[in-house]
């Protein structure tokens, strides 16, 4: 038995992280200061997008995206049931209708073929947009989805909360980073402690669309602007105008300072995650009773390099509950991602029911996320592997 518990995910806070936060705490700004813009600019460069807007959390990022795109009571938006509920809830916040598409069981990503079938079965204009999710850090092939969206006048919000630094390979053989704005109007990221970049709470929206970028800035701060060239009137240096119904979705400077420090070693963390995944892959290869969730083929280069960002490492087993409890008895705290959104009481109250998306439901019955974070030691990982295989072979 290991001395310390092994969770499925864990933040990594260094002395450099602490120092940069303390420095910001001792500065003139705790919020709405220079670290916000620095973090935005650095993150935009990291994912290859023109613009980035830092916000209070990933859910706020999703909500701002739906507002900026004009989602309302007449909007119908397609997303996946295998995601955290915020991916769907953002549509409901604006009064829109959520429709789910089932998953590809090999990857647990949204089934693009089914999305096409849904869209083509309805008249043009019936659907407004699509919210694909880079689940577990496994990138959706947005090039394929963009082709469909362009044919039918749809927008795309890429939920890349699991995938900063991830990429897929397009039809020209070029790597397309998650959130780079090449195929989706908007993309969102989360900086929750178990994510690749931790700011305690926080989120980011990236885009290449200047008009959407300006809307995001406005809606992030109560719909208020002080920009002189945007004001309808100007009474003096103190003057500001509320030009839209916005929200307080700002993020403090000290959290952005932490984000900047974490971002500086993001590539190192990504490399370690992929190394951990390779060790798991090798250990479970050929083990009857353990199915590893597959990588999207579009996220694998010709040389075999993977664009999977590995926020999660997911296996599927017949006795998921038994394995979950067995691991907990040995101080390993695996987790389940996710309970299908359409089976939640709220979405059942809107007409969904168990059985609507059988592939998602079968996935849920068997899935388990094993420990995956850069500071997971080789000893801890081998202990996890030993216990998983030992349970399966009993």
DSSP 245-296: ---B---BHHHHHHHHHHHTTHHHHHHHHHHHHHHHHHHHTT-TT-EEPPPP
Q: Does the structure show a pLDDT above 80 at 250?
A: yes
In degrees, to the nearest 5, what angle opens at C-alpha 329 toward C-alphas 325 and 333?
Answer: 70
Taking a C-beta distance cutoff of 8 angstroms, is the pair 187, 178 a contact?
A: yes
Cα separations (Å) of 375 from 259, 273, 336? Answer: 18, 9, 21
Cα separations (Å) of 304 from 24, 104, 259, 375? Answer: 42, 22, 31, 25
pLDDT value at position 2? 82
CB-based contacts of 384: which residues, under 8 Å, 6+ apart? 6, 327, 332, 370, 371
pLDDT value at position 286? 87
pLDDT tens for 350-381 read: 999 999 999 999 999 999 999 999 999 999 99
State both tokens at 312.
Answer: 């999660």
Average confidence score pLDDT of the chain? 97
Q: Is residue 228 helix, strand or coil?
A: helix
Give the Cα separation of 285 and 266 in Å (integer): 28
pLDDT tens for 27-78 read: 999 998 999 999 999 999 999 999 999 999 999 999 999 999 999 999 999 9
Report all structural domains of the chain as residue ranges with CATH numbers, in order of start: 15-263 (3.40.640.10), 266-393 (3.90.1150.10)
Q: Does the structure show a pLDDT above 90 at 340?
A: yes
pLDDT value at position 394? 84
Beta bridge partners of 300: 306
Give the Cα separation of 180 and 175 in Å (integer): 11
Beta bridge partners of 55: 203
pLDDT value at position 370? 98
Report the relative pairing of strands 76-79 and 97-100 from DSSP bridges: parallel
For the segment 243-266, the average pLDDT, to the nearest whole number, is 98
Q: Does the structure show a pLDDT above 80 at 1?
A: no
CB-based contacts of 97: which residues, under 8 Å, 6+ apart? 75, 76, 77, 91
* DSSP of 25-89: HTSS-SBSSHHHHHHHHHHHHHHT-SEEEEES-HHHHHHHHHHHTT--TT-EEEE-SSS-THHHH
């Amino acid at each position: 038995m290991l001395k310390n518990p092994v969770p499925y995910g864990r933040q990594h806070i260094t002395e450099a992280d602490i120092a940069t936060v303390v420095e910001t705490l001792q500065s003139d700004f705790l919020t709405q200061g220079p670290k916000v813009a620095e973090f935005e600019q650095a993150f935009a460069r990291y994912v290859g997008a023109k613009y980035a807007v830092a916000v209070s959390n990933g859910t706020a990022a999703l909500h701002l995206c739906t507002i900026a795109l004009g989602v309302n009571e007449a909007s119908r938006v397609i997303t996946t049931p295998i995601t955290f509920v915020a991916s769907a809830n953002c549509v409901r916040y604006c009064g829109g209708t959520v429709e789910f598409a089932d998953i590809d069981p090999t990857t647990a990503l949204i089934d693009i073929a089914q999305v096409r079938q849904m869209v083509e079965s309805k008249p043009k204009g019936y659907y407004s947009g699509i919210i694909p999710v880079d689940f577990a850090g496994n990138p959706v092939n947005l090039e394929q989805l963009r082709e469909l969206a362009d044919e039918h006048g749809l927008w795309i919000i890429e939920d890349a909360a699991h995938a900063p630094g991830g990429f897929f390979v397009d039809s020209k053989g070029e790597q397309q980073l998650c959130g780079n704005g090449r195929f989706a109007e908007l993309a969102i990221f989360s900086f929750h402690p178990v994510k690749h970049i931790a700011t305690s709470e926080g989120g980011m929206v990236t885009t290449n669309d200047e008009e959407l970028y300006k809307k995001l800035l406005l809606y992030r701060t109560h719909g208020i602007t002080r920009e002189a060239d945007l004001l309808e009137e100007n009474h003096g240096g103190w003057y500001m105008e509320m030009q839209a119904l916005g929200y307080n979705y700002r993020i403090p400077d000290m959290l952005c300072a932490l984000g900047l420090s974490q971002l500086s070693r993001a590539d190192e963390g990504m490399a370690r995650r992929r190394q951990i995944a390779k060790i798991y892959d090798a250990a479970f290869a050929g083990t009857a009773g353990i199915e590893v969730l597959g990588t999207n083929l579009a996220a694998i280069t010709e040389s075999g390099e993977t664009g999977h960002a590995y926020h999660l490492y997911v296996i599927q087993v017949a006795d998921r509950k038994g394995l979950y409890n067995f691991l907990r008895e040995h101080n390993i705290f695996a987790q389940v991602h996710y309970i299908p959104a359409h089976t939640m009481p709220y979405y059942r109250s809107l007409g969904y029911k168990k059985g609507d998306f059988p592939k998602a439901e079968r996935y849920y019955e068997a899935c388990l996320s094993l420990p995956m974070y850069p500071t997971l030691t080789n000893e801890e990982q081998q202990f996890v592997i030993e216990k998983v295989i030992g349970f399966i072979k009993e």
